[in-house]
Structure 1
Amino acid sequence: MKHDSAHHFQEPILKYARTDFARLPVHFTVQEALNAIRQQGIGEKIVYFYVVAEDDRLVGVVPTRRLLTAPLEEKLQNIMITRMVVIPHTATVLEACEQFILHKFLAFPVVDERRRIVGMVDVQLFTGEIFDFTEREQAEDVFEMLGFRLNQVRDATPLRAFRYRFPWLMPTVLSGTLCALLAGAYELTLARSILLAFFLTLVLALGESVSIQSMTLAIQTLRATRPTWAWFGKALRREMTTALLLGLGCGILVSLIVWLWRGVLPAALVIGGSISLSLTGACFVGLGIPTLLHALRWDPKVAAGPLTLALADIFTLLCYFNLAALFL
């Protein structure tokens, strides 16, 4: 049975929090802390000890190495770290994952609204129970990006596999045919500047790469976020700005290559400009197609890949040939 990943990552973090950790009073010395640890016992692979005030409020954390190497008469309040990153007890699994990614710590305390420690999550739990879940879906995600589900073709007969896989190749065939017709329509433009043909594959590849990157980011976000117009506008502004920077960088680089290789400045500017414009459009396609399919209640992972690549190729060629026709 396939897991609902969006539901999984929205589960409360308290479901995964551990309670086998030692609370150490802030007025303890290192010797008293070690004695308390022996009496309380600790769980496996504990790397941090949490220091609490009289009202059980978390006030610091002491790494194991620091506790073991400090003088026995030293107070915990003198060796503890007071600037801590904590996870609120209302956090979701996804929000906790973000903390591990951002801060690279081995464990985080979970605290309530009064900053009392109610649990602890460590990286072992995430790698053992949560990231394994993601890894189990990665293989299927790759196939779904291509247009079909892995469970449809696993152990299927060649004929059945053909029936599932062939329809999703049709967008590629149709878009490829349309691209060929577009190239034929601009045959005179290509004849005026043979350089356009040399860099056609590069321009298409860049557009496809950016569209797939944007599509992947959109699908991953849609798995854990309910899309709204506000979300789409914010994501679109961020992605379009990124795509514009990528387009300018790639466009300038390719323009320099064309100019240094052939010394034809107009063609170099047209090729570079079309790259800048097409990458921005490809970004919009990569973000918009999964969002639209999600709004229509279709599975964006299955349908987005072929459609995104097809539309990105068509838009890229339109930019490429129209700019060439105007300026060459």
Structure 2
Amino acid sequence: MGSSPRKSADWLSDPVTLHMGTASPLLHVNQTVDEAIAVVRTSSDVGRIVYFYVIDEERRLAGVVATRKLLLSQPWTPIREIMASKTTAIPANSTVLQACEYFAEHKLLAFPIVDEERRVVGAVDVGLYTDEIQEIDRRQDADDLFQLIGIHLSEAAKVRAGPAFAGRFPWLLCNVAGGMLSALIADAYQDISTLAVVAPFIALVTALAESVSIQSVGLALQALHSQPPRWTSFLRKLQLELTVGLLLGGACGLVVGLVALLWKGSLVVAASLFLGITGGVFASAGVGLSLPFLMRLCRRDPQLASGPIALALADVVTLLCYFNLGRWLLG
């Protein structure tokens, strides 16, 4: 890596061959254990060996032998009898991100790198990745690295439509439920929601609340990357986020209210929008920050579920706030 710090996304897109080490010494499938150990002893190009890779006459990967098994087997034992023939290898055209998936999925300490003919061109081990990660200067960049690997791996693991559907559909039902509940609220407040001075702004009011809610979810997930959830830290962050939410809501409400005043010529409509947006954004900020913490405390995946639930709750809370204020001011 260069002298200037690199973004994790740039590093993850590198060809894995730029980060691989030597796979030497390679053992031959026709050797005995005694012959293989002699090769190891005389090799001048020994990498950080975790496993010994076995090749055939055409230098194609034939298997792998663990160091312990090589040392404890009888000297006359053929290598082909102690090697594991089912060997997972990383293609040479893979990226660093794809290589990371192999480590996370298979839980091995090293992998051989093979070309299109399955000839061994190198190897990569966990130590190499540890050294590279330590060169990332900023903590946030390192957090992004691990988050990106986790997200990419979870999506890549779903190679069939069925499991992918089953993993995502339940949380989409949160949006369906939130939308239906919002429709029921709009119907219950039909005397307000259908007014010409209220209806045009419904989408804007909910969109602002949803945006702030998702921002708060992102901040909470970021905080949970670096430390376990604690009530003291949660309450401190909640207080800060509610303050920021109040400021954001007030600023957005003021802008929208002024536009509505110029457009509709009604101070009451402007006040309704100002208060509705302020209250909705304030509540949505609290909801967005709270959900990931609460889900982590309940031992649920906050990253998967917090977003859909936060959006649904943001819509419901904002509409209730907006319609009640409208009924109070315009009724």
Residue 164 of structure 1 is matched in structure 2 by 167
- Structure 1 segment 157-306 matched on structure 2, within 5 A: 158-191=161-194, 193-306=195-308
How does 1:316-327 map onto structure 2 within 5 Å? 316-327=318-329
- Any idea what the Cα deviations from partners look like across 1:110-136, whole Å, max 9, x if unmatched? xxxxxxxxxxx9999216999467336
Using a 3 Å threshold, how does the CA distance of structure 1 residues 133 and 294 change in structure 2: closer, same or farther?
A: closer
Determine the C-alpha separation between the residues in 1 that align with 2:249 and 2:218: 19
Q: How does 1:1-328 map to 2 (within 5 A)?
A: 125-126=135-136, 131=141, 134-135=144-145, 137-138=147-148, 140-141=150-151, 149-153=154-158, 155-156=159-160, 158-191=161-194, 193-328=195-330
CA contact (8 A) 2:133 2:142 kept: no
Inter-partner Cα distance in structure 2 for 1:174 and 1:200: 18
Q: Deviations over 1:162-215 (max 9, x none)?
A: 222222210000110110111011111134x31211011111110001111111
**CA distance in 2: counterparts of 1:189 and 1:307, whole angstroms:** 26
Runs (5+) with no aligned partner, structure 1 = 1-120
Indicate the structure (1 or 2) with the bigger Cα radius of gyration.
2
Identity of aligned residues (%): 39
Distance 1:133 1:253 in 2: 36
Shift of residue 140 of structure 1? 4.9
Partners of 2:176 and 2:298 in 1: CA distance: 25
Alignment partner of 2:290: what SS?
helix
TM-score (norm 2): 0.56
The 3 A distance-change label for structure 1 pair 186 and 216 is same
Taking structure 1 as reference, are residues 196 and 289 closer, same or farther at Cα in structure 2, changes over 3 Å only? same
Q: Indicate how the Cα distance of structure 1 residues 129 and 210 shifts in structure 2: closer, same or farther if over 3 A, else same.
A: closer
SS in 1 for 2:228: coil
| CA drift at 1:292 | 0.5
CA distance in 1 between partners of 2:212 and 2:143 (Å): 27
Partner of 2:104: none
Unaligned ranges ≥5, structure 2: 1-130
Using the TM superposition, give the Cα deviation of residue 138 of structure 1 relative to its aligned residue in structure 2, in angstroms.
2.6
Deviation at 1:218, TM superposition (A): 0.6
Normalised to the residue count of structure 1, the TM-score between the two structures is 0.56
Which residue type is aligned with residue 246 of structure 2? L
8 Å Cα contact 1:289-1:304 kept in structure 2:
yes
Q: Counterpart of 1:194 in 2: which secondary structure?
A: coil
Q: How many residues are paired up?
A: 200
Q: Post-superposition shift, 1:297?
A: 1.1
User: For residues 173 and 139 of structure 1, do their structure 2 counterparts lie closer, same or farther at Cα, with a shift above 3 Å needed?
Assistant: farther
CA distance in 2, matches of 1:178, 1:170: 12
**Whole-angstrom distance in 1 between the partners of 2:142 and 2:229:** 26
Return the offset for 1:290. Answer: 0.6
